[in-house]
Amino acid sequence: MNKVIHILLGILLCVFSATAQIPEKAEDISPLLIGEMIPDIVLKSTDASDHSTLNIFSKKPSVLLFYRGGWCPYCNTHLAEIQSVESEIIKLGFQIVAISPDSPENLQKTIGKNELNYNLYSDGDGKLTKAMGIAFKAREKDSNKLIRYSGGLNEGYLPVPSVFIVDTSGKIQFEYINPTYKIRMDAGLLLAVLKELQ
């Protein structure tokens, strides 16, 4: 009997630990820091094929954007603003990679709506967002959207919108993270940072 109780307590502790890792509020996240490595996690591209993060980043230094989803007007505005300086970003030797919980099908809609040329990837199950330390629990009204937009993979978390600059080894060189989702990194500031890092 004691053995069964110990097993049940162990299971409850594991469940509690898993849920405790995602903070309730955006202000309580603990993101990876400059100098740390981005974990190698598999994402889905717009055609639903698998791509490892380290393979994506190995091609060029990357501007890595995390956004809430194609349903978020602030995200769409920011994605379009970054698109407006894409040619300058490419001239500086960087690629743009944007990641959200959206399913590959919904990524395609976001690309079409915002006329994006850069690559979008799906982190529908949230493995990368959680590993980056930028996931937090969504409000109930957003949870329903997340389930729908992620193809049923998202269990009710949101990424804090963030910008990371990553070298070809996956090391973070710069980050901009603001828990207020309406405030995003300005394209002009991003270009200034990229020029400094070049």
In the three-class reduction of DSSP (H, G, I as helix; E, B as strand; rest coil), residue 153 is classed as coil
The answer to whether residues 46 and 120 touch, using CB atoms and an 8 Å cutoff, is: yes
- Every domain of the chain and the residues it spans: 25-197
Residue entry with tokens 């309730």: 24
Q: How many CB atoms lie within 10 A of CB 25?
A: 10
Tens digits of per-residue pLDDT, 80-92? Answer: 999 999 999 999 9
CATH class of 25-197: alpha beta
Q: 113 and 76 in contact (C-beta within 8 Å)? A: yes
Is residue 18 predicted with pLDDT exceeding 80? no
Judged by phi (left if over 0) then psi (alpha if -120 to 50, else beta), residue 75 lies in: alpha
- Taken in order 143, 158, 131, 63, the sign of the CA dihedral is positive
Q: What is the pLDDT of residues 44-68, one digit of tens each?
A: 999 999 999 999 999 999 999 999 9
Q: What is the pLDDT of residue 14?
A: 40
Average pLDDT over residues 186-195: 98
d(CA 177, CA 183): 10
**The pLDDT value given to residue 3:** 52
Res. 71: pLDDT tops 60: yes
In the beta sheet, which residues pair with residue 51?
43
Q: Per residue in 105-144, pLDDT tens?
A: 999 999 999 999 999 999 999 999 999 999 999 998 888 8
Retrieve residue 31's tokens: 């993101």
